[in-house]
Amino acid sequence: MSDGHRRAQTAIQTILRLTNLLMAGKRVVVIGDEPELAARLRAMGAQTLLTDPAAALQGHRVLAEEEAVALADLVIGATEAHLPLLRDGAILIPAAPPAGASEPGERSRIGEPGRADGDPPAGPSGTGGGASGAGGVLAGLPGVRVRDGITGYRLGPGREVFVLDMAC
């Protein structure tokens, strides 16, 4: 089994375990070059939207990143740049942080909601104070732990997104 197959299967199992979602009919955006993951999601009935033009050769619908993210129910490979584009109720799976992303000022992944021990950081209400780690993207927003591995964030009136912690 190749690494691409193994990564795709692990990601899907984690998504299903954390969310208990039925993928059939969901609009799933896969950002980056993950053809195996997109193929498996499509086999489960998801409408896959990819941002990599080469994915069109494999039968996937290819859209510009901004357009795809605005339509998505689930975004895999999300970064802080996608936050303003998201629709209400979207589920984000953060992009893997680049090596050395723990340095201040470097691009960090979305949401890192829990500390190393798995508890959300304490906010004023005790329900989580946002992202932890170095300069987390959602650090200014109060995050509410929905359940293990899922943190909800309000982006404005009527707009809430959920961030999955794939380390769970």
Q: What DSSP assignment string belongs to 109-162?
A: -S---S-TTSPPPP-TTSS--S--STT-TTTTSPEEEEETTEEEEEEETTEEEE
Tell me what pLDDT residue 48 has: 92
What secondary structure letter does DSSP report for 98?
P
**pLDDT per residue as tens digits for the range 33-68:** 888 899 999 999 999 999 988 888 888 899 999 999
Three-state DSSP string of 8-75: HHHHHHHHHHHHCCCCCCCEEEECCCCHHHHHHHHHCCCEEEECCHHHHHHCCEECCHHHHHHHCCEE
The pLDDT, as a whole number, for residue 44 is 94
Average pLDDT over residues 118-140: 40
Binned at pLDDT 50, 70 and 90, residue 128 comes out as: very low
Question: Which tens digit of pLDDT belongs to each residue from 9-28?
Answer: 888 998 999 999 899 999 99
Each residue of 76-124: pLDDT tens digit? 988 888 888 999 999 998 876 544 444 333 333 444 443 333 343 333 2
Q: According to the model, what pLDDT value does residue 107 have?
A: 37
CA distances from 126 to 38, 65, 112, 168 (A): 37, 35, 17, 21
Q: Is the pLDDT of residue 135 over 70?
A: no
pTM for this prediction: 0.72
pLDDT at 71 over 70: yes
In this prediction, residue 106 carries a pLDDT of: 39
Are the C-beta atoms of residues 30 and 38 closer than 8 Å to each other? Answer: yes
Q: Considering the chain, what is the average pLDDT of its residues? A: 75
